[in-house]
């Protein structure tokens, strides 16, 4: 992240996707959806206004050279794909969130909420809610010498978080699913969680949904075969002719 001064005010300029938030992404998406109805100049300034927070009218006062330099910086971001993060945890403004990578331990409430958030294809509009299903507060500290040591965050860990110091994320597990926390965290994520962390949750959700759909299709096929066999036999052994085929 770098800064630029426009009309004696400083504005932050994203330099990578890690500097972009979902609320900005959704506004850019809306602008892109209406690109055919906009002049090129208006389109460019609208995108710049979203990413920097600088009013559209103030951007119009920039010199062509300064505007060109700013546009070049931001084009580099927009032309690169949003990436997934490998981190299993994030220190977000002094709060620790751990990613739930155990779909086999998901509870019914998670599946119900994910299904609700993805209705009508509104995955990106509800991406902050999907992210809140997977990025959750820590609950336990993993002890390699024991199975699991249930322990809240220590005062020492909280102090390190507030100081922005490095945390050993592998010690922590996400808390049990809590729909109320999901709702609260979702709104916080929309304005604060970097896009790569949002994107990671959405990709994980899509992969999980595809696997679930494949499982359901296989299950329905097995059930269908059993029903057909039941109808064919009608409770009686299948008669076969001399060649071994069914009569």
**Mind listing the pLDDT tens digit for each residue in 58-113?**
999 998 888 888 888 888 888 888 889 988 999 998 889 999 988 788 888 898 89
Contact 52, 4 (CB under 8 A): yes
With bands split at pLDDT 50, 70 and 90, how would you rate the model's confidence at 167? Answer: confident
pLDDT of residue 79: 84
Are residues 113 and 187 in contact, defined by beta-carbon separation less than 8 angstroms?
Answer: no
Instruction: Please spell the DSSP secondary structure of 108-154, one letter per residue.
Output: HHHHHHHHHHTGGG-TTTTHHHHHHHHEE-EEEE--TTSS-B--PPP
Q: Average per-residue pLDDT in the chain?
A: 82
Q: β-pairing, 9-13 with 2-6?
A: antiparallel
Position with higher pLDDT, 240 vs 47: 47
CA–CA separation, 34 and 131 (whole Å): 27
Identify the CA nearest to 144 among candidates 171, 113, 122: 171
Greater model confidence, 59 or 224 = 59
What is residue 237's DSSP assignment? P
Euclidean distance between CA atoms 87 and 163, whole angstroms: 19
**What average pLDDT does the segment 131-138 reach?**
94
Closest CA to 177 of 210, 127, 132: 132
Rounded to an integer, what distance in angstroms lies between the CA atom of residue 133 and that of residue 128? 9
H or E segment at 9? strand 9-13
> Residue 158: is its pLDDT beyond 90?
no
pLDDT beyond 70 at 215: no
Per-state percent for the chain, helix, strand, coil, to nearest 5: 55, 15, 30
State residue 24's pLDDT score.
95
Question: How crowded is residue 59: how many other Cβ atoms within 10 Å of its Cβ?
Answer: 20
Token reading at 5:
């001064």
Q: What is the tens place of the pLDDT at every residue in 40-64? A: 888 889 999 999 999 999 999 998 8
Q: Is the pTM of this model over 0.85?
A: no
According to DSSP, residue 174 is labeled E
Ranges 37-41, 124-128, 193-197, 204-208: which has the least confidence: 37-41
Model confidence band, residue 245 (pLDDT cutoffs 50, 70, 90): very low
């Amino acid at each position: 992240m770098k800064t630029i001064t426009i009309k004696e005010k400083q504005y932050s300029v994203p330099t990578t996707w890690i500097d972009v938030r979902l609320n900005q992404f959704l506004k850019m998406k809306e602008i892109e959806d209406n690109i055919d109805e906009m002049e090129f100049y208006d389109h460019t300034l609208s995108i710049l206004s979203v990413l920097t927070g600088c009013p559209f009218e103030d951007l119009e006062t920039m010199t062509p050279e300064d505007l060109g330099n700013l546009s070049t910086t931001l084009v580099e971001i927009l032309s690169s794909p949003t990436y997934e993060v490998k981190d299993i945890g994030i220190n977000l403004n002094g709060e620790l969130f751990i990613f739930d990578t155990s779909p086999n331990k998901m509870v019914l409430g998670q599946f119900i909420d994910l299904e609700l958030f993805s209705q009508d294809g509104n995955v990106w509009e509800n991406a902050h809610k999907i992210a809140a299903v997977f990025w959750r507060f820590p609950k336990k500290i993993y002890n390699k010498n024991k199975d699991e040591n249930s322990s809240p965050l220590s005062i020492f860990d909280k102090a390190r978080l507030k100081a922005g110091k490095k945390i050993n994320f592998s010690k922590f597990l996400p808390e049990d699913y809590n729909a109320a926390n999901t709702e609260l965290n979702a709104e916080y994520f929309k304005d604060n969680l970097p896009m790569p962390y949002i994107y990671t949750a959405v990709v994980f959700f899509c992969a999980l949904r595809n696997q679930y759909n494949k499982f359901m299709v296989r299950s329905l096929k097995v059930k269908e075969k059993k029903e057909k066999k039941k109808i064919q036999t009608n409770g009686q052994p299948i008669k076969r002719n001399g060649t071994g085929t069914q009569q």
